[in-house]
Amino acid sequence: MLNYILRRLLLMIPVAFGITLAVFLLVRLIPGDPARAILGIHATPALMAAVRTRLGLDRGIGMQYLLYIKHLVQGDFGISYYYGQPVSQLVLTRMVPTLVLLLYSTIISLLIAIPAGLLAGTRQGRGTDHALRVVATAGLGLPSYWTGFILILLFSVTFHIFPIAGYGNTWGARLYNLFLPALTCALNVAPLVMRALRTSLGEALGAGFIDTARAKGLPGNVVLLSHALRVAILPALNVLGLNIGFLVGNTVLVENVFAVPGLGQLMISSIGTRDYPTIQMVTLMFGVIVVLIYLVTDLGQILLDPRVRRSELG
Amino acid sequence: MTSPLLAVEHLAIGIPGGEGTVALVEDVSFTVRAGEAYGIVGESGCGKSTTIRAIIRLLAGRAGITSGSIRFDGQDLARADEATLRPLRGAGIGMIFQDPLTALNPVLTVGRQITEGLRYHGTVPSRERRARMQEVMRLVGLPDPARIAASYPHELSGGQRQRAAIAIALVCSPRLLLADEPTTALDVTIQAQILKLLSDLRHRLGMALILVTHDLGVVAQTCDRVAVMYSGRIVEEAPIARIFAAPRHPYTVALLNSIPRGTRAHHPLHPIAGMPPDPAERPRGCSFAPRCPNMQPACERAFPGWTAAAGGGGFACYHPAPGQAEASPDG
């Protein structure tokens, strides 16, 4: 097991390098000049040239990348052009709200998807199933920035149940404040997980081991939960894992709609100020988070499915 | 004679459809005494699996019992609700299925699947469950119970899986074991082992057995009496010796002729020409008539009634093969 995790973590290194290269080049394709953004109305050609020299932007792009990588492997992610403090500090403080949001929306997704999937999977072809299919398709089709605003309108403006935006200082306040953003993210993921669960549950319920379980005289809910769901949840969790990966991208939008001081918000503001080191590290962090989520998903499969355990761990 | 353990009377099973109910099983009656081994043979789709699944009320899909009764221990299972059936399943009547590959839950250990029945029937206190599990595993011939109990189904061979499935069915000591083609999915050598195991267990535990198979050879090794089913009905029933010595129904005769007899010359294989009818389009009269060598016009008018045969059992045919007294000895 430990060997497997180490192998997977080692595989992350080339992926991380790929990300740094792509981001480094893409960032420099954004029209606009960091020197102008820093100097603002004071920009003169001479001052801008001086700033560029100070930031090292006057060198060739290949040289710039090599220097960036050289500092990176030493653990130096650079100084933010805009905030003037080490990027690593900045990113670490902003990472917490994003991770909380991700975990929170994963939990809400499961809380929606498992009961809905059980309902649809046990009533396939009937009214409940069709109704859930319509709701799921709608949830899937609505973009999160739109659902975000609608939820704000409904729960914050009209009914005053949840705050419009913000994060909070205590964990209680944070969970309360982050509920709507997390729900917004979950509404995009839950339908996929629910549909996957519906399909796999249908298959599991038709399998021979369900006959065996019923022939033992087990109560119906035990047959459904500890036999059918126990098997059917595996593909659904895989779908969940894949989609939390996509969810990471979604948090950028949702954090901006709800003013959550996370990585996504930092990323957007840094793009505005052409803060190259910050954009680079935030993107790298997003990449690392996605790869780690996939690792956790695969570890989950290994833990929950003895068949995978044998083929993966030898 | 005491009353039978199981009495199935005029059982009919159907699937409701757009144009009325499609009958899968019609007017099936038979009894099984305590400790007896009863075989049900027939081609695929003749309703034999449907019949025994109905006994434990595990019919697939929308199929349901349309009439008749299934008396087990004085209770009518055909009309029982889930709450009545649950304590009987596993504890009164155990069942094993055709494919041991799919019959076990792939993500639970074999041990957990064996002890699960004990947990919900509450007959064995929790600290004695492990001992009971090991006892039943040894009974079905699973070596090294502790190791196999901790294994998952994919780590076992086909024969071991079927033994585990039998252990699951036996752990609560049922008085009747239903076996739905338990050897079909196994290698020939393993088949023989499993059949021998079922026979031994029946004698040691004094349990009744209903064995469903398409293979008369399997029935010959295992059963006391046998019913031959064709197109949803029992067409002949007989003590095991009689079915081979003097089969009466032309379908039984045809089934026996289609058994490969090894190296014996002058016994070429005679497959039965044609196919059983679709349950939705059964002929009005005898459903075997279109394939029957003895067919007469009367056969197509109405289903033949039941004729009792000498020495037990009977058959449903207007023009049966000659009985034992008249039959010429088979060379």
pLDDT confidence band for B329 (50 / 70 / 90): very low
Q: Rounded to a whole number, what is the distance in Å from the CA of B88 to chain A's nearest CA?
A: 7
Under an 8 Å CB criterion, which residues of A touch B?
207-209, 211-220, 222, 226-227, 230-231, 234, 304-307, 310
DSSP at B33 = -
DSSP at B289 = G
A12: which 2 tokens?
A: 């992350």
Cβ of B89 and A215 within 8 Å? yes
Q: Is residue B45 part of a domain?
A: yes
Same domain membership, residue B290 and residue B181: no
Distance of CA B54 to the CA centre of its chain: 11
pLDDT of A238: 93
B260: which 2 tokens?
A: 């490969």
Place of tokens 């041990």: B111
In this structure, the dihedral spanned by the alpha carbons of residues A108, A114, A116 and A118, taken in order and rounded to 10 degrees, is -170
Q: Is residue B307 part of a domain?
A: yes
What residues of chain A lie within 8 A of the CB of B91, using their CB? 217
CB count, 10 Å around CB of B321? 17
In degrees rounded to 5, what are phi and psi of residue B273? -70, 145
Residue of B49, B52, B85, B105 to mutate, interface with A, max A Cβ within 10 Å: B105
Q: Specify which residues B39 forms β-bridges with.
A: B211, B226
For residue B301, pLDDT over 60 is answered with: yes
3-state secondary structure string across A38-103:
HHHHHCCHHHHHHHHHHHCCCCCHHHHHHHHHHHHHCCCCCECCCCCCEHHHHHHHHHHHHHHHHH
The residue from B159, B190, B223 where one domain ends is B223
| Candidate from B82, B121, B155 with C-beta closest to A220 | B82
Q: Is residue B323 part of a domain?
A: no
Q: Is residue B300 part of a domain?
A: yes
Q: What is the pLDDT of residues A22-38, one digit of tens each?
A: 999 998 888 888 888 88
Q: Is residue B105 part of a domain?
A: yes
How far is residue A13's CA from residue A17's CA, in Å, rounded to a whole number?
Answer: 6
How far is residue A239's CA from residue A200's CA, in Å, rounded to a whole number?
Answer: 11
Question: Is the distance from CB of B105 to CB of A211 less than 8 angstroms?
Answer: no
H or E element at residue B95: strand B93-96
What residues of chain A lie within 8 A of the CB of B115, using their CB? none
* Domain limits, CATH 1.10.3720.10, in chain A: 95-275
Interchain CB contact of B95 with A (< 8 Å): yes
| Closest B-chain CA to A227 | B105
Same domain membership, residue B200 and residue B260: no
For residue B264, pLDDT over 90 is answered with: no
Q: Is residue B78 part of a domain?
A: yes
How far is residue A118's CA from residue A108's CA, in Å, rounded to a whole number?
Answer: 16
* CATH at B197: 3.40.50.300
User: Which residues constitute the domain of residue B74?
Assistant: 6-223
Cβ of B89 and A216 within 8 Å? yes
Q: What is the pLDDT of residues B175-196, one digit of tens each?
A: 999 999 998 888 888 888 999 9
Mean pLDDT computed over B23-39: 94
How far is residue A87's CA from residue A79's CA, in Å, rounded to a whole number?
Answer: 5
Same domain membership, residue B248 and residue B163: no
How far is residue B255's CA from residue A36's CA, in Å, rounded to a whole number?
Answer: 94
Q: Is residue B179 part of a domain?
A: yes
Structural domain count, chain B? 2
Summary mean pLDDT of chain B: 89
ipTM of this predicted structure? 0.88
- Identify the CATH assignment for A95-275 out of 1.10.3720.10, 2.60.120.340, 3.30.499.10, 2.70.70.10: 1.10.3720.10
- pTM, full prediction: 0.85
In degrees rounded to 5, what are phi and psi of residue B230? -145, 125
